[in-house]
Homo-oligomer: A and B are copies of this chain.
Amino acid sequence: MFKHEKKLLHEVKVDRPNPTYAVLLQEQLGGPNGELKAALQYISQSFRIKDKAIKDLFLDIAAEELSHMEMVATMINLLNGHDVDAARVQSGVIEQHTLGGLSPMLVNSSGAPWSANYVNVTGDLPADLLSNIAAEQRAKVVYEYLYRQIEDRGVQETIDFLLNREEAHNALFREALNKVGVQGSNRDFGVDEDARLYFDLSTPERYFDNPAPTPTTFSNPRRSQYNPDHTH
């Protein structure tokens, strides 16, 4: 069962309206690496999971992503200001002024509608966890791009909070992957000869040796295990 509280998960600050930046921010409401995508991916995956710890983790984070979606939408709503007026959008799409009456919309920054094509669900724990780790890393990237293009301090602080939460989720999903161990698609990983070939099909140049695959695990989800020299 889902419940809603009127209180936001975290304060949202917007110093002044900026309809042009509202268009950029749509990317994290209705885009492929946005908050709705994250929430629905984790909820969808949770539907069939039997492992109680993983199921709980997915739903904890999914509920948080729904709450982030609400924060992003609140920012967009404030940035859109008070009047439909497409002329106030310097670049990017103007559909919020023709269709949505300045409401935050479930579209990306190009106005393309949110699609379940963004959601990856396989019913296989290692694969689903890797999908989530990748999704969180991409979400961080988009927030970094957005952060660089706004000078509004309130917006920057809100984005900064959201960006840091993606890092937290990323680390938790990695820890979970290490925890579930060799099951599902991580079984029988790299046992056949065909998995140890390298086809050098783009010429000239080759830089990597033949692979000798192992199941996917992460070296350092948590700081306590972290050796910075190792990662450079």
User: Does A133 lie at the interface of the complex (its beta carbon under 8 Å from any beta carbon of B)?
Assistant: yes
List the number of copies, as a whole number.
6
User: Which of A85, A102, A144 has the largest number of chain B CB atoms within 10 A?
Assistant: A144
CB-defined contacts of A56 to chain B, threshold 8 Å:
6, 202, 205-207
Q: Give chain B residues whose Cβ lies under 8 Å from the Cβ of A214.
A: 171, 220-223, 225-226, 231
Let me know if A103 and B196 touch, CB within 8 A.
no
Known pairs A6-B203, A31-B99, A168-B196; list 15 more (Cβ under 8 Å).
Answer: A1-B8, A24-B94, A27-B98, A33-B99, A45-B103, A48-B103, A60-B201, A92-B93, A95-B110, A97-B145, A100-B123, A114-B115, A126-B137, A133-B134, A171-B190
Q: Does A182 contact B (CB under 8 A)?
A: yes
Contact of A23 among B52, B94, B226 (CB under 8 A): B94
Among A190, A199, A203, residue most surrounded by chain B Cβ atoms (within 10 Å): A199
| A231 CA to B154 CA, complexed, in Å | 42
